[in-house]
Amino acid sequence: MDVKIEPSWKEVLKDEFEKPYFDILTGFVRKEYQTQTIYPPAKLIFNAFDLCPFNQTKVVILGQDPYHGYGQAHGLCFSVNDGIQFPPSLINIFKEIQDDVHVPMPSSGNLERWAKQGVLLLNAILTVRAGEAASHQSKGWEEFTDRVIKELSDKKENLVFMLWGSYAQRKGMVIDTKKHLVLKAVHPSPLSAYRGFLGCHHFSQANAYLQSHGKPTIQW
């Protein structure tokens, strides 16, 4: 199957695109876009991969599924388009960055600037119906993104994985902790952020680890 995705990812995942489940998933997603309002826009489904090639990935942040409100999702977990009000989890991420690495609250919630520095902003599920959280759960996306995580763990060294909340931590169990730094905390949602996300210092820890392995740090 010819999937429009950044070339280095296409090479790494080429046999995944030929598996029966991916064919079924593609059929489901195509029909959903034809009959429902689906986020993100179809051309941005693989935006996280397109902005952060496999060979440039240094940090992986794992989300669950895209925002389901109008104009929010653009294919990067936790990120929203320019001009869109910050969702509560993103506000807490920016608060932690402010406290941890002393970067002031930005004017935009668009995290493309991170992706272009090598931060893969990966949702476990890449599409969603408008207004229906987790509506594309268990359709095949999870299997696809499990493979993405496994390929990163197996074929690269000295990555930083940020796993926030129990869902991300379960999904990250395949990561080789001998080769990579795995940072865990509760989810940045207002329901849990004060139980350990705020004060986790993941952003400074990530940069210290990258620096110790001779890699450029991230300008958060």
Catalytic-residue membership of 176: no
For 24, half-sphere exposure in the C-beta direction (CA atoms, 13 angstrom radius) is: 10
Q: What is the three-class DSSP state of 5?
A: coil
CA distance 168 to 166: 6
Q: Tokens 């958060």, residue? A: 220
Token pair recorded at residue 196: 């350990």
> Is 111 within 8 Å of 78 (Cβ atoms)?
yes
For 83-114, the three-class secondary structure string (H helix, E strand, C coil) is CCCCCHHHHHHHHHHHHHHCCCCCCCCCCHHH
Structure tokens at 38: 């689906």
Nearest of 178, 120, 116 to residue 152 by alpha carbon = 120
| Residue 215, token pair as written in the block | 């890699």
- Residues 197 and 14: their CA atoms lie apart, in Å, by 36
The residue type found at 213 is H
Helix (H, G, I), strand (E, B) or coil at 6: coil
Catalytic residue among 2, 15, 50, 65: 65
Catalytic residue set: 65
